């Protein structure tokens, strides 16, 4: 697959709290870093996203007495999975993994900083209305296809890919550059949505050949 000047690499949430030893660790999460480094040189445009929650965020189980992580509650914008406290602004857990080295990235986009609404996607908060500004940036740069890598495949990567398609962008997930949480069948569920929305899944070798 040929990378062009209209392509961007979105590197999603490769942060300490999502890697082994972190507060919301994704199994083998740090294994995505080497793959991301290998493909990054193919892209002129790279965007990093960073989960960036205030303490006591509405998506944290601690904000809901009697609730445990991974239970669900209904918030103003719909059902929300509750998470352990993670990626708290200014904390070590919110920092990018120290092995990730992408100084050529054009933007670091922080999301999830609104106290009362979560933001899985790099494009919209979980109300599917409030924009992060990423779509405007891509449009201004005439970027029409996004390749996605990072954590977690079945949440922030997947929601970003689906929103890209909703905005009329081509979306390609580098499957070996992602790792999943797979909570209650979340991988199968989101892959069904990928098939319906036209999200492509490839291995990084398709870019490196």
pLDDT in tens, the chain (209 residues): 899 999 999 999 999 999 999 999 999 999 999 999 999 999 999 999 999 999 999 999 999 999 999 999 999 999 999 999 999 999 999 999 999 999 999 999 999 999 999 999 999 999 999 999 999 999 999 999 999 999 999 999 999 999 999 999 999 999 999 999 999 999 999 999 999 999 999 999 999 97
Strand, coil or helix: what is 18?
helix
Residue 2 placed within a domain:
no
Angle between helices 186-197 and 158-166 (to 10 degrees): 20
CATH of the domain at 40: 3.40.50.850
Whether 158 and 181 have beta carbons less than 8 Å apart is answered as no
Q: Which residues participate in catalysis according to the annotation? A: 13, 111, 156
CA distance 36 to 149: 7
Domain that holds residue 181: 7-208
How many structural domains is the chain composed of? 1
Residue 1 placed within a domain:
no
CA distance 65 to 97: 31
127-147 CB burial, b ≥16 within 10 A, e <16: eeeeebebbebbeeeebebbb
- Take residue 15 and report the two structure tokens written for it: 């942060």
């Amino acid at each position: 697959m040929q990378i062009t000047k209209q392509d961007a690499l979105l590197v999603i949430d490769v942060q300490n709290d999502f890697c082994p030893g972190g507060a919301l660790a994704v199994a083998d999460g740090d294994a995505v870093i080497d793959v991301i480094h290998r493909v990054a040189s193919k892209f002129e445009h790279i965007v990093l996203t960073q989960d960036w929650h205030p303490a006591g965020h509405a998506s944290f189980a601690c904000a809901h007495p009697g609730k445990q992580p991974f239970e669900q509650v209904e918030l103003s914008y719909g059902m929300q999975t509750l998470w352990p406290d993670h990626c708290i602004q200014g904390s070590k857990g919110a920092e990018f993994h120290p092995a990730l080295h992408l100084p050529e990235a054009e933007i670091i986009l922080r999301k999830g900083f609104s106290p009362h609404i979560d933001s899985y996607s790099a494009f919209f908060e979980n109300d599917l209305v409030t924009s992060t500004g990423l779509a405007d940036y891509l449009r201004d740069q005439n970027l029409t296809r996004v390749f996605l890598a990072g954590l977690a495949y079945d949440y922030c990567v997947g929601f970003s890919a689906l929103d890209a398609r909703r905005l009329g962008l081509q979306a390609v997930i580098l499957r070996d550059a992602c790792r999943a949480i797979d909570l209650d069948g979340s991988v199968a569920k989101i892959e069904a949505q990928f098939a319906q929305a036209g999200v492509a899944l490839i291995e990084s070798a398709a870019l490196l050949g």
